[in-house]
């Protein structure tokens, strides 16, 4: 399947999700377990993407202060927790990452 | 504008459309930088400019597009990518259920159009107005949805052009996990949410080497289950 097919399928799935209850015109209601599950979907999915990028970049474990992704990621996590500001978090994390690489750290240890 | 005065103008549809467009303007401050970052990162992940641009109208969902850019860069199998998008966008079913009663009397083509425009931000900006009785309120949702759509397309294009003018060796790929951190960390406000994040991180780390990127789907499933179970324990106690 080409990337175009992935985008079209992903778009269709998204569209049908948005259309679902609108098309059913209130004949369906949202099950409680489904509603209870939803807040954890973005948390679980996005954390599952973040953790390996920080601790296993390129597949190998890199739990070390010499890993600029881990250090910059930790800075970003603290910034996000304290400031709750998307742009500040990205900017500070990226500056720390670039700074460490500039100082000689390998971008992907 | 005072809602009472807006209720009886000569062309209520246009008034609603304009009010919707105005209501969403403050949200563009957050949406436009995201669009620019998406455009730049999609190119960085190896997606060519034309599909990167097309994704903003085909999928038209910020977090799912970031996810697809990341997964495409990692060489993920197609079905895992589509399943991930479906999972991340499940929340839109809730918006759909929420606006369904208001849109129920409309012709089918209106429902088809408004469903396409039903993003997080369009919903957030429109729901207060939609919940109020009377008037052609679907025009309000059209106003918020269309302005967001336009803003998303323009900012995506700006990001694509920006990336093309930056040095290609700049390790921009790291901006993706940083973007996810900026989105996720403020969401972790309860013990159950923390369970979900830690469980997902643990499974994702253990499964980073699994074939077909199945570690990602397993981590998402375990994380959701952990958060849900944590929530149930609290509500029973």
pLDDT tens string B112-168: 999 999 998 899 888 888 877 677 889 999 999 999 999 999 999 999 999 988 887
Tokens of A61: 């474990």
CB–CB of A37/B228 below 8 Å? yes
Q: Of A9-18, A64-73, B128-137, B215-224, give the lowest mean pLDDT range.
A: B128-137
Q: What's the confidence (pLDDT) of residue B22?
A: 92
List C-alpha distances in Å: B106 to A16, B100, B130, B159, B172.
Answer: 18, 10, 14, 37, 45
Residues of A in contact with B96 (CB under 8 A): 17-22
CB B56 within 8 A of CB B65: yes
Distance CA B98, CA B107 (A): 18
Of B93, B208, B232, the CB nearest to A17: B93
Asked whether the beta carbons of residue B82 and residue A6 sit closer than 8 angstroms, the reply is: yes
**What share of chain A has pLDDT > 90, as a percent?**
67
Q: Where are the domains of chain A?
A: 31-102
CA distance, residue B93 to nearest chain A CA (Å) = 5
- Is a pLDDT exceeding 90 seen at residue B210? no
Pick among B49, B117, B182, B224 to test the A interface (most A CBs inside 10 A): B182
Domains of chain B, by residue range, sit at 3-165, 188-236
Mutate to test the interface with B, among A3, A37, A44 (most CBs of B within 10 A): A44
Q: Chains A and B: how many Cβ contacts under 8 Å?
A: 262
- Within chain B, residue ranges assigned H as helices are 3-6, 12-44, 49-58, 62-73, 78-88, 92-103, 108-116, 120-130, 138-165, 175-184, 191-206, 214-236
In this prediction, residue B212 carries a pLDDT of 74
CA distance A55 to A70: 6
Of B55, B84, B231, which is closest to A36 when you measure between CB atoms?
B231
**What is the structure's pLDDT at A26?**
65
Alpha carbon B70 to chain centroid distance? 15
3-state SS assignment for residue A56: coil
C-alpha–C-alpha distance, residues B197 and B44, integer Å: 27
Res. A96 pLDDT band, cuts 50 70 90: very high
- Collapsed DSSP state (helix, strand, coil) of residue A64: coil
**CA atoms of A52 and A60, how far apart (whole Å):** 9
Q: Measured between CB atoms, does B92 come within 8 Å of chain A?
A: yes
Q: Which of A30, A45, A84 sits opposite B94 (nearest CB)?
A: A30
Q: Which two tokens stand for residue A105?
A: 């750290």
B21: tokens are 């467009």
Say whether residue A95 is in contact with chain B using an 8 A CB cutoff.
no
Say which DSSP state B179 is in: H
Taking only the tens place, the pLDDT of each residue in B9-49 is: 578 899 999 999 998 888 888 889 889 999 999 999 999 99
| pLDDT value, residue B3 | 53
ipTM of the complex: 0.90
Chain A residues 39-78 with CB within 8 Å of chain B:
39-56, 59, 69, 72-73, 76-77
Residue count of chain B, please give it.
237
CB atoms within 10 A of CB B26: 9
Q: Does B158 touch chain A (CB under 8 A)?
A: no
Exposure b/e, B119-154, CB count within 10 A at least 16 = b = bbbbbebbeebbeeeebebbbbbbbbbbbbbebbbb
What are B101-119's pLDDT values in tens digits? 889 899 999 999 999 999 9
pLDDT score for A10: 97
Q: For residues A7-30, give the mean pLDDT.
A: 90
Global confidence as pTM: 0.82
| Rounded Cα distance, B196 and A44, in Å | 6
What whole-number distance in Å separates Cα of residue B96 and Cα of residue B126? 13
- Residue that has been written with the tokens 């780390």 in this structure: B205
Per the CB < 8 A criterion, the answer to whether A29 and B98 are in contact is no
Cα Dmax for chain B: 64
Query: What mean pLDDT is predicted for residues A77-95?
Result: 94
Residue A108's SS3 state is: coil
Confirm if B53 and B157 have CB atoms less than 8 A apart: yes
Is A51 within 8 Å of B201 (Cβ atoms)? Answer: yes
- Enumerate the residues of chain A whose CB falls inside 8 A of the CB of residue B221: 44
Contacts of A53 in chain B (CB under 8 A): 174, 176-177
Mutate: best of B68, B71, B169, B185, partner A, most A CBs <10 A: B185
Q: Under an 8 A CB cutoff, do B114 and A22 touch?
A: yes
pLDDT tens, residue by residue, B37-91:
999 999 999 999 999 999 999 999 988 999 999 999 888 999 999 999 999 899 8
Q: What percent of chain B has pLDDT over 70?
A: 94
Rounded Cα–Cα distance for residues B237 and B224 (Å): 20
Supply the pLDDT for residue B209: 86
User: Which whole number is the average pLDDT over B195-215?
Assistant: 92
Q: What is the pLDDT of residue B149?
A: 97
Q: Which two tokens stand for residue B19?
A: 């009010």
pLDDT at residue B5 greater than cutoff 70: no
């Amino acid at each position: 399947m080409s990337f175009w097919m992935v985008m079209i399928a992903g778009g269709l799935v998204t569209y049908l999700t948005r259309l679902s209850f609108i098309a059913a015109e209130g004949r369906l209601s949202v099950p409680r377990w489904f509603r209870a599950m939803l807040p954890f979907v973005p948390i679980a999915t996005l954390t599952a993407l973040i953790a390996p990028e920080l601790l296993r970049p390129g597949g190998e474990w890199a739990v070390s202060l010499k890993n600029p992704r881990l250090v910059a990621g930790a800075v970003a996590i603290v910034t996000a927790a304290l400031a709750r500001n998307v742009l500040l978090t990205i900017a500070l994390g990226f500056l720390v990452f670039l700074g460490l690489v500039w100082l000689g750290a390998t971008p992907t240890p | 504008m005072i809602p009472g005065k807006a209720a009886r103008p000569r062309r209520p549809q246009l008034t609603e459309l304009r009010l919707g467009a105005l209501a969403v303007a403050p949200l563009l401050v957050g949406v436009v930088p995201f669009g620019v970052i998406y455009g730049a990162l999609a190119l960085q992940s190896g997606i060519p400019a034309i599909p990167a641009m097309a994704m903003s109208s085909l999928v038209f969902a910020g977090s799912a597009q970031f996810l697809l850019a990341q997964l495409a860069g990692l060489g993920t199998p197609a079905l895992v990518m589509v399943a991930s998008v479906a999972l991340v966008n499940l929340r839109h079913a809730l918006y759909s259920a929420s606006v369904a009663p208001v849109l129920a009397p409309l012709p089918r083509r209106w429902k088809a159009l408004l469903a396409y425009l039903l993003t997080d931000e369009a919903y957030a900006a429109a729901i207060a107005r939609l919940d109020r009785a009377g008037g052609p309120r679907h025009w309000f949702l059209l106003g918020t949805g269309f302005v967001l759509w336009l803003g998303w397309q323009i900012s995506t294009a700006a990001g694509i052009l920006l990336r093309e003018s930056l040095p290609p060796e700049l390790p921009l790929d790291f901006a993706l996990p940083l973007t996810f951190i900026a989105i996720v960390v403020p969401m972790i406000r309860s013990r159950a949410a923390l369970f979900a994040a830690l469980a997902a991180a643990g499974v994702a780390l253990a499964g980073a080497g699994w074939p077909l990127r199945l570690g990602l789907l397993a981590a998402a499933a375990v994380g959701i289950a952990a958060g849900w179970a944590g929530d149930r324990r609290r509500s029973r106690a």
